[in-house]
A and B are shown apart, each in its own frame.
Chain A
Amino acid sequence: MSPVRLPDPEQLAERIRRGERAAVASGLNLLDNKLDEARQGAARLLAALAGEHGLSAGHLIGITGPPGAGKSSLLAAMIRKWRQSERTVGVLAVDPSSRPEAGGGALLGDRIRIKNTAHDEGLFIRSLANRSQLGGVASEVWPMSWLMLACFDIVVIETVGVGQTEIDIAEIGDTVCYVAQPASGDTIQYLKSGIIEIPDIFAVNKADLGAPARKTAGELTRASSRQDRRADWDYPVCLVSANDHSGIQPLLAHVDRHRRFLIDGGLFDELRARHQRAWVVRLLKDEFGTFGLGLLGGAAGVDAWLQARPSNQFAGYVQLRKHILSKFLSANHQSSLTTKEHVNEQAIV
């Protein structure tokens, strides 16, 4: 018997959509679970949450930046404003401190900095260790953020920017906000690295420092204006302070404006669908490796197959998982499987 009691994914999806906190927690546990039966349940949960219409609700925001930039305190100030306007918030705080070479443990101490008030049922924080990912964002972050989107108005993924992280976060978030630390070499390095192509909004924190913050903002403004990712987006640079709470409201206005920009330009659904496809590929690769992915025609094959079925990528993910598993099984046992278990191979190859 399994030591873990697994919930029924479809019932759980119902409860999550109703915003039951216990169900949200239980769903996140399921998405985190690597037992075979749990992976199957996780895929079904995501498919059930997305339903026939896909998930186009909510706003998924990535917040990234160098260590010490004050991301958590800034996020706390942003959350205070969101909560004042009665928007519910889910946070995935990704901590970079785990070290696989030293037992894989991690100290997750971000909640204390993000939380504002003693008790708030409209805020849900989950801390995540980065586990064995070398740079970049743990693969659990993506499904977890989608789960949270099913029940919170705003979902924030907070990460420490170290190159690959920003690239990953841009493949999850609708809006990516980079928090810069005034008068530190990080910003210069950042400008040089070319990763400046990624964020949609720049927030220079600690504006209460005065001149150094304005200088950093100036550097970022000059650099961001050269971006050509989306010609009609203006890549704003905001001066903010988590200390005296200045500039928070304008920053949030830019965040909202970016979502409207995506929707008005017809970019929003396309962006989310593209992100979903990229992460389905990544999850399949995590679980089955390049060989497993190769059974489906590689990354390009999966991407094309998913593009042909835009309504519910998660349902597609369930099917693709089953298909790879059946291929593995048939390779091992030389036995054929019922057609129900098969994906249309013609469409994949």
Chain B
Amino acid sequence: MAYVQNKRDQPWLIRTYSGHSSAKASNTLYRTNLAKGQTGLSVAFDLPTQTGYDADSPLAKGEVGKVGVPISHIEDMDQLFDQIPLDQMNTSMTINATAAWLLSLYIALAQRRGIDPGKLNGTTQNDIIKEYLSRGTYIYPPGPSMRLIADTINYTVKHVPKWNPTNVCSYHLQEAGATPVQELAYALCTAMAVLDRVKASGEIGAADFPQVVERISFFVNAGIRFVEECCKMRAFAEMWDQLTLSRYQVNDPKMRRFRYGVQVNSLGLTEAQPENNVQRIVLEMLAVVLSKRARARAIQLPAWNEAMGLPRPWDQQWALRIQQVMAFETDLLEYGDLLDGSPVVAAKVAELIDGARREIANVEAQGGIIAAIESGYIKRELVQSHMNRLRAIEAGDLQIIGVNCFRETAESPLTQGSDGGIMKTDPAAEREQIERLQAHRRQRNDHEVQAALQGLVDVAKSSDNIMPASIRCALAGVTTGEWGDTLRGVFGEFRPPTGIDIAIDSRELLGKKDQVAQLRENVASTGNSLGRPLKLLVGKPGLDGHSNGAEQVAVKARDVGFEVVYDGIRLTPQQIAQAAQEEGVHVVGLSILSGSHLELVEAVLAEMRARDLAEVPVIAGGIIPKEDADRLTALGVRAVYTPKDFSLNAIMADIINVVRDSHGLARLPTPQ
């Protein structure tokens, strides 16, 4: 066989989602990754930056530099892109509620470096809908939030034409439980809501509107059912082509292309036998590159150890090399579409399109996606789908290797190192960021800052585009928290419409009937021994908005007979302790996925001690490494649950016993 290669297609943009500790540390990581052959950057911001708080805000405690890089002002942005030429880089920013702000900092930095913003290339995620439904880093109510998105689109189409101002995300819908049909339907409904909003703003005339449509890109998830996922991507491309033609009269087929980036599924990655995640990631990736006609434009792969904690540089390199092997070693890019003409694929695509069309019509009949979010409809549908999935895992109908089957394993050499196979963030990062921020505040021109912020207020109250005033703020040295707070003052803050009053038919969702009946009996008899029904507080301290886990536990606990107090996301340790006291709960469950579990749990325990609640047991759940779990236990936490504890029934049995232990009652056996 000769080594003559056929003409190859260009590969997708190869990225790794990364950022941590500080702008300086992240810059070093980025330059290392670029030297290893990464072709674009994907910036992960920390939660204070994503939710519009400065590093020294009380809500930011413990969260600075944890899930991403803290960017508080233009000097941070400058340091993040030190020695990286902005006009030659393709930068993706996972930023939503504060997207207009981070984009302003990026544009302002380009201006300061003498680079024409028209040459900037990249993406802001900028999709607020899925924040309300799943990811939780929203700030403002839907009206002003959609206006901010429309403003960034209107601005970039005119001034930064190569920028992708919004990435409509079906990714997080899948993480929240969406089926492929729901992913298709809700993502397309979101895109329609965004386009309709831009159209209504009237900033761009009808003749130029196709350029707006062309700039809409998507961010999609790929799970392990790779045939179905492959068909889902083809269905997306087909539906987008039709929808942009019929609804927005885009006549040029090139402008109707479904352009999307991918991060493969993190939800399905397991903490048990974590090396198996590598083959999962490869197969999931295959689904989005296999079809030439619906191939991803940009891909970032998670690391094999994501379910255990933060990946190290070596873990990220492994993820990068997977992409490179697929793009450069295999012959995939030498061929046309492999699946054209397959009757199996065509039938599956048609089935998905049919289902998605019906669900879109259903949402449209309710007044569109925003109305359907405000009514709680979509959240209920997603929670229902997610519960179905969990039930299937518990019942063994959905097999997950190493989790609910084939669990025997040899010791893994990958997790034996002194670091436990994960990255440790620098505990000094938060303090250093705060010092840097306070020094920055002292150095800037206060008069300019105040004038720029007043300009921002005036524009926010008008219907003018928010971007020029935000860029002026960025240049004046305004901070992320000041920008966020100023708009909070004008727009107000979003409050979830219904908490989680999720109307789920328990009979259908409970899984093993006998176990549930036994659990109910255990809850009731323990309540009788204590004189009142068992009451559980489910709390999410810190800024992490991934509420699905907490909600699953809350719903399950309700179903086995607990009275469950759930206060939603973004609570301070003080608020959680106060709620525990006012509500008189028997046990407090904390859910933390941002990696700040040590700081936050310790703070909650301290607040509870200060309120005479030392005897109320606290349990914690999240992505918590073994070593940290041991430290939490030493601090007084009674139980720690991690992704390997997939059985909600087993968790419930354990929580009941935690309560019994704390009152000197004998433990009850776990129902089988």
Interface residues of A, Cβ cutoff 8 Å to B: 1, 3-4, 21-22, 25-26, 28-29, 32-35, 38, 73, 97-98, 102-113, 115, 118-119, 124-127, 129, 131
In the complex, which residue of chain B has the Cβ closest to the Cβ of A25? B581
Residue B451 CB within 8 A of the other chain: no
Known: A35-B531, A103-B559, A127-B583. A118 touches B554 (CB 8 A): no
Interface contact A118-B559, CB-CB below 8 Å: no
Within 8 A of A (CB), among B541-584: 554-555, 557-568, 572, 574-575, 578-579, 581-584
Q: How far is the CB of B597 from chain A (nearest CB, A)?
A: 21
Residue B204 CB within 8 A of the other chain: no
Residue B500 CB within 8 A of the other chain: yes
Interface contact A112-B560, CB-CB below 8 Å: no
Out of A1, A102, A126, name the residue touching B584 (CB < 8 Å): A126
Interface contact A126-B554, CB-CB below 8 Å: no
Interface contact A126-B564, CB-CB below 8 Å: no
Q: Which 6 A-B pairs have the closest CB atoms?
A: A109-B499, A33-B531, A35-B531, A103-B561, A3-B663, A105-B558
Out of A1, A38, A111, name the residue touching B567 (CB < 8 Å): A111
Which residues of chain A are within 8 angstroms of B567 by Cβ–Cβ distance?
109, 111-112, 115
- Comparing B277-285, B407-415, B455-463, B522-530, the segment that makes contact with chain A is B522-530
Interface contact B564-A3, CB-CB below 8 Å: no
Which residues of chain A are within 8 angstroms of B579 by Cβ–Cβ distance?
111
Residue B208 CB within 8 A of the other chain: no
Interface contact A105-B561, CB-CB below 8 Å: yes
Q: How far is the CB of B410 from chain A (nearest CB, A)?
A: 42
Docked pose: A182 CA to B479 CA in angstroms:
42
Which residues of chain A are within 8 angstroms of B665 by Cβ–Cβ distance?
3
Most buried by A among B495, B531, B554: B531
Interface contact B562-A109, CB-CB below 8 Å: no
Docked pose: A4 CA to B660 CA in angstroms:
11
Residue B520 CB within 8 A of the other chain: yes
Interface contact B565-A127, CB-CB below 8 Å: yes
Which residues of chain A are within 8 angstroms of B582 by Cβ–Cβ distance?
21, 25, 124-126
Which residues of chain A are within 8 angstroms of B499 by Cβ–Cβ distance?
107, 109-110, 112-113
Interface contact B581-A32, CB-CB below 8 Å: no
Docked pose: A12 CA to B290 CA in angstroms:
70
Which residues of chain A are within 8 angstroms of B664 by Cβ–Cβ distance?
1, 3
Which residues of chain A are within 8 angstroms of B578 by Cβ–Cβ distance?
119
Q: How far is the CB of B563 from chain A (nearest CB, A)?
A: 5
Residue B254 CB within 8 A of the other chain: no
Docked pose: A108 CA to B557 CA in angstroms:
12
Residue B419 CB within 8 A of the other chain: no
> Given A109-B499, A126-B583, 7 more contacts at CB 8 Å?
A1-B664, A3-B665, A4-B531, A105-B558, A107-B500, A119-B578, A125-B582
Interface contact A108-B581, CB-CB below 8 Å: no
A-contact 0/1 string along B582-616, CB 8 Å cutoff: 11100000000000000000000000000110000
Out of B496, B532, B564, B584, name the residue touching A112 (CB < 8 Å): B496
A-B contacts at CB below 8 angstroms, number = 120
Out of B528, B558, B574, name the residue touching A106 (CB < 8 Å): B558
Q: How far is the CB of B467 from chain A (nearest CB, A)?
A: 27
In the complex, which residue of chain B has the Cβ closest to the Cβ of A125? B582
Interface contact B501-A105, CB-CB below 8 Å: no
Q: How far is the CB of A132 from chain B (nearest CB, A)?
A: 10
Residue B362 CB within 8 A of the other chain: no
Q: How far is the CB of B506 from chain A (nearest CB, A)?
A: 5
Residue B507 CB within 8 A of the other chain: yes
Docked pose: A29 CA to B502 CA in angstroms:
27
Which residues of chain B are within 8 angstroms of A1 by Cβ–Cβ distance?
664
Q: How far is the CB of A241 from chain B (nearest CB, A)?
A: 13
Q: How far is the CB of A42 from chain B (nearest CB, A)?
A: 10
Interface contact A104-B529, CB-CB below 8 Å: no
Residue B498 CB within 8 A of the other chain: yes
Interface contact A32-B584, CB-CB below 8 Å: yes
Docked pose: A119 CA to B572 CA in angstroms:
9
Docked pose: A129 CA to B557 CA in angstroms:
14
Which residues of chain B are within 8 angstroms of A108 by Cβ–Cβ distance?
563-566, 583
Residue B161 CB within 8 A of the other chain: no
Interface contact A105-B496, CB-CB below 8 Å: no
Interface contact B565-A118, CB-CB below 8 Å: no
Docked pose: A35 CA to B530 CA in angstroms:
7
Docked pose: A119 CA to B507 CA in angstroms:
39
Interface contact B498-A109, CB-CB below 8 Å: yes
Out of B501, B529, B663, name the residue touching A107 (CB < 8 Å): B501
Interface contact B581-A22, CB-CB below 8 Å: yes
Which residues of chain B are within 8 angstroms of A111 by Cβ–Cβ distance?
565, 567, 579, 583
Interface contact A112-B572, CB-CB below 8 Å: no
Which residues of chain A are within 8 angstroms of B528 by Cβ–Cβ distance?
34
Out of B554, B557, B584, name the residue touching A25 (CB < 8 Å): B584
Residue B533 CB within 8 A of the other chain: yes
Interface contact A107-B558, CB-CB below 8 Å: yes
Docked pose: A129 CA to B534 CA in angstroms:
11
Which residues of chain B are within 8 angstroms of A107 by Cβ–Cβ distance?
499-502, 554-555, 558, 564, 566
Q: How far is the CB of A252 from chain B (nearest CB, A)?
A: 21
In the complex, which residue of chain A has the Cβ closest to the Cβ of B556? A105
Interface contact A102-B506, CB-CB below 8 Å: yes
Known: A34-B532, A112-B499, A119-B575. A104 touches B524 (CB 8 A): yes
Provide a sorted-by-A list of 29 A–B residue pairs whose CB atoms are within 8 angstroms: A3-B529, A3-B530, A3-B663, A3-B665, A4-B531, A21-B582, A32-B531, A33-B531, A34-B528, A34-B532, A97-B501, A103-B520, A103-B524, A105-B523, A105-B557, A105-B562, A105-B563, A108-B583, A109-B565, A109-B567, A111-B565, A112-B499, A112-B567, A113-B495, A118-B58, A119-B572, A124-B582, A126-B582, A126-B584
Most buried by B among A26, A102, A107, A110: A107
Q: How far is the CB of B364 from chain A (nearest CB, A)?
A: 21
Q: How far is the CB of B552 from chain A (nearest CB, A)?
A: 12
Which residues of chain A are within 8 angstroms of B554 by Cβ–Cβ distance?
107
Interface contact B523-A103, CB-CB below 8 Å: yes
Docked pose: A106 CA to B566 CA in angstroms:
10
Docked pose: A110 CA to B567 CA in angstroms:
8
Docked pose: A209 CA to B498 CA in angstroms:
20
Docked pose: A118 CA to B576 CA in angstroms:
11
Interface contact B564-A106, CB-CB below 8 Å: yes
Q: How far is the CB of B108 from chain A (nearest CB, A)?
A: 31
Docked pose: A127 CA to B566 CA in angstroms:
10
Interface contact B532-A22, CB-CB below 8 Å: no
Which residues of chain A are within 8 angstroms of B532 by Cβ–Cβ distance?
29, 32-34
Which residues of chain B are within 8 angstroms of A4 by Cβ–Cβ distance?
530-531, 663
In the complex, which residue of chain A has the Cβ closest to the Cβ of B526? A3
Most buried by A among B554, B566, B574: B566
Interface contact A129-B533, CB-CB below 8 Å: yes
Which residues of chain B are within 8 angstroms of A112 by Cβ–Cβ distance?
495-496, 499, 566-568
Which residues of chain B are within 8 angstroms of A125 by Cβ–Cβ distance?
582-583
Which residues of chain B are within 8 angstroms of A115 by Cβ–Cβ distance?
567
Docked pose: A67 CA to B528 CA in angstroms:
31
In the complex, which residue of chain A has the Cβ closest to the Cβ of B562? A105
Which residues of chain B are within 8 angstroms of A3 by Cβ–Cβ distance?
529-530, 663-665
Interface contact A106-B531, CB-CB below 8 Å: no
Docked pose: A163 CA to B629 CA in angstroms:
50
In the complex, which residue of chain B has the Cβ closest to the Cβ of A124? B582
Interface contact A131-B533, CB-CB below 8 Å: yes
Interface contact B574-A119, CB-CB below 8 Å: yes
Docked pose: A35 CA to B665 CA in angstroms:
15
Docked pose: A98 CA to B506 CA in angstroms:
12
Which residues of chain A are within 8 angstroms of B520 by Cβ–Cβ distance?
103-104
Which residues of chain B are within 8 angstroms of A106 by Cβ–Cβ distance?
558, 563-564
In the complex, which residue of chain A has the Cβ closest to the Cβ of B503? A97
Out of B524, B531, B562, name the residue touching A38 (CB < 8 Å): B531
Docked pose: A26 CA to B585 CA in angstroms:
11
Which residues of chain A are within 8 angstroms of B562 by Cβ–Cβ distance?
105
Docked pose: A105 CA to B555 CA in angstroms:
9
Docked pose: A73 CA to B499 CA in angstroms:
12
Docked pose: A32 CA to B584 CA in angstroms:
10
Which residues of chain A are within 8 angstroms of B558 by Cβ–Cβ distance?
105-107
